[in-house]
């Protein structure tokens, strides 16, 4: 059995790795009565599952330990590093009995970097595991019976299909945002840039990353080198030093166009124009270089103000037959190959014949809405971010789509107003953030009673919570299609088909 998540209802984790936001300062002191393990003790653990951040779920004397680097089915030696009342944390020391799916990670900084969590698990094993993560949450949280797909389905059970994976699961990210810092001996002679180390804001310096494009590798490496040569410092919050905070690279897989965004904490970035010109000379395919100002606290990547240093203010790409304009602030799915598979399944589950009215909650820049509009009579999209709504309208115009309209606001407020105007959707599509749907929106869906609901999820635990509400409100879950949008990480997306109970 693979356990997807034993962290409670929503499974959210703070950066320190403690489930449900509890800090390690709450660690249980050693020596309390009847404790199955003690701090710093070396134990032998059987790994029975995987956690939502990719850690192995181990059992020692019936006690749960979360062990990064361990895989389901393994027996490992580990040292206990932290204890709570019902679970603890341990450091992997040695794999005593290895999973047949275990592989050697190809990335040289995998053990340090927090960008990937599952490079030690073979890709076919990842696909099976991600399906099981979805199944476990549906059964445990949503209380749904899942059909046995190996036995041609169980009557009345929800069908959870095998995870749709990638033919080539490397170099798939069309967007990367790299923090920039300064440290002794950095690869760029003083400037470092890469991903943050797991559970920290320490930058793991790397010129090459196997999940981002080679063009992004070249750009990040060039920026670090050229910025250092031009005397552009890295931003340092502790030292109150102004400078370059992040480098963001966006690529159009279908068009080959690339945008570079240089993020600093002040409007004046020394030598910014010269840096832009040198990037264009060094790296082919650049269509846009922008400068973004973010004076906010650590944890935020971009600020509200962006100006163009070179080229256009946007690039273009396409998913299927739909073209999209991508600005510095635009949200755009980072894996376009799998996005086409994801949206194709959403379109299939919507069951459109050309006569339906569709509401797309959390519509973003209109990606799903414009797919649906190709087969629907009318599509209404709502999104809380006004800039995204502007992008959605521009994307509709770019594609000559006239049967889609978009409104800015909270879905749980805008959709009831549409209902008062006489709009009666046949299909409602939701694609919420990791926190899931707002409770008021779920109530609205139950009240409006569309024929079908299509739920696009990036978090199995909040998905399961919301499905339980919709099931209790008069809908039935028919099929679930997991899609691997982020190979080598512990994330899984799903598309869910629900119908109204007659």
- What angle do the packed helices 439-448 and 460-472 form, to 10 degrees? 40
**Cα separation of 227 and 175, whole Å?**
21
Helix (H, G, I), strand (E, B) or coil at 146: strand
Determine whether 209 is an active site residue: no
Q: Do 425 and 448 touch, CB atoms closer than 8 A?
A: yes
Task: State the Cα angle at 392 between 387 and 396, rounded to 5°.
Answer: 150
At which residue do the structure tokens 């204890």 appear?
83
Distance in angstroms between the alpha carbons of the first and the last residue of the chain:
35
Residue 219: name the closest of 184, 263, 250, 255 by CA.
Answer: 250
Report CA torsion sign: 388, 389, 392, 397: negative
Alpha helix (H) residue ranges in 334-410:
336-350, 367-373, 386-398
Task: Report the C-alpha gap between 287 and 246 in whole angstroms.
Answer: 19
Q: What is the Cα–Cα distance from 291 to 271, expressed in whole angstroms? A: 12
Burial class (CB in 10 A: 0-12, 13-18, 19+), 502: exposed
What is the distance between the alpha carbons of residues 55 and 7, in angstroms, rounded to a whole number? 12
The encoded tokens of residue 485 equal: 């949008």
215: Cα separation from own chain's centroid: 22
Q: Which one is catalytic: 113, 209, 363, 458?
A: 458
The CA distance from 468 to 447, in Å, is 16
Instruction: Report CA 209 to chain centroid distance, whole Å.
Output: 17
User: In the numeric block, which tokens belong to residue 350?
Assistant: 């919507």
Task: Tell me, rounded to whole angstroms, the distance of Cα 24 from its chain centroid.
Answer: 25
What CA–CA distance (Å, rounded) separates 348 from 499? 13
- How many Å apart are CA 368 and CA 381, to the nearest integer? 9
Q: Give the dihedral of Cα atoms 303, 308, 309, 314; nearest 10 deg.
A: 100
Residue the block writes with tokens 């696009």:
456
Q: Which residues are catalytic?
A: 458
């Amino acid at each position: 059995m693979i356990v997807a998540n034993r962290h409670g209802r929503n499974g959210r984790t703070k950066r320190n790795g403690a489930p449900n936001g509890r800090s390690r300062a709450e660690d249980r002191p050693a020596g309390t009565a009847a404790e199955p393990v003690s701090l710093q003790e070396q134990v032998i653990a059987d790994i029975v599952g995987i956690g939502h951040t990719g850690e192995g779920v181990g059992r020692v004397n019936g006690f749960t330990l979360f062990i990064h680097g361990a895989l389901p089915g393994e027996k490992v030696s580990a040292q206990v590093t932290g204890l709570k009342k019902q679970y603890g944390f341990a450091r992997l020391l040695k794999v005593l009995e290895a999973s047949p799916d275990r592989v050697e990670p190809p990335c040289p900084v995998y053990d340090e970097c927090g960008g990937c969590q599952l490079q030690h698990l073979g890709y076919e094993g990842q696909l099976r595991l991600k399906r099981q993560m979805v199944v476990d949450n549906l059964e445990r949280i949503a209380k749904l019976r899942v059909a046995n797909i190996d036995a041609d389905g169980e009557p009345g059970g929800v069908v959870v299909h095998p995870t749709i994976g990638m033919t080539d699961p490397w170099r798939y990210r069309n967007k990367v945002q790299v923090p920039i810092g300064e440290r002794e001996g950095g690869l760029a002679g003083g400037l470092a840039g890469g991903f943050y180390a797991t559970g920290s804001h320490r930058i793991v310096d790397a010129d090459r990353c196997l999940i981002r494009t080679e063009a992004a590798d070249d750009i990040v490496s060039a920026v670090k080198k050229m910025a250092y040569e031009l005397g552009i410092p890295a931003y340092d919050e502790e030292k109150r030093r102004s400078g370059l905070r992040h480098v963001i690279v966006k690529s159009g897989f279908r068009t080959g166009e690339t945008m570079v965004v240089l993020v600093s904490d002040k409007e004046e970035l020394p030598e910014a124009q010269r840096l832009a010109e040198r990037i264009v000379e060094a790296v082919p395919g650049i269509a846009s270089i922008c400068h973004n100002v973010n004076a906010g606290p650590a944890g935020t990547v971009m600020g509200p103000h962006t100006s163009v240093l070179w080229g256009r203010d946007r690039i273009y790409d396409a998913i299927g037959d739909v073209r999209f304009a991508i600005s510095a602030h635009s949200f755009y799915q980072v894996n376009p190959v799998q996005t086409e598979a994801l949206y194709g399944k959403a379109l299939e589950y919507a069951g459109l014949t050309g006569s339906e009215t569709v509401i797309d909650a959390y519509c973003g820049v209109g990606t799903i809405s414009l797919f649906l509009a190709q087969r629907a009579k009318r599509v209404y999209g709502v999104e809380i971010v006004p800039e995204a709504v502007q992008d959605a309208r521009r994307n509709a115009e770019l594609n000559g789509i006239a049967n889609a309209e978009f409104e800015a606001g909270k879905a749980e407020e805008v959709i009831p107003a549409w209902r008062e105007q006489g709009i009666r959707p046949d299909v409602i599509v939701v694609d919420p953030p990791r926190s899931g749907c707002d409770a008021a929106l779920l109530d609205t869906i139950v009240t409006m009673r569309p024929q079908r609901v299509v739920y696009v999820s990036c978090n199995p635990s909040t998905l399961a919570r919301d499905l339980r509400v919709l099931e209790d409100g008069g809908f039935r879950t028919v099929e679930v299609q997991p899609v691997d949008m982020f190979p080598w990480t512990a994330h899984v997306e799903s598309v869910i088909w629900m119908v109204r109970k007659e």
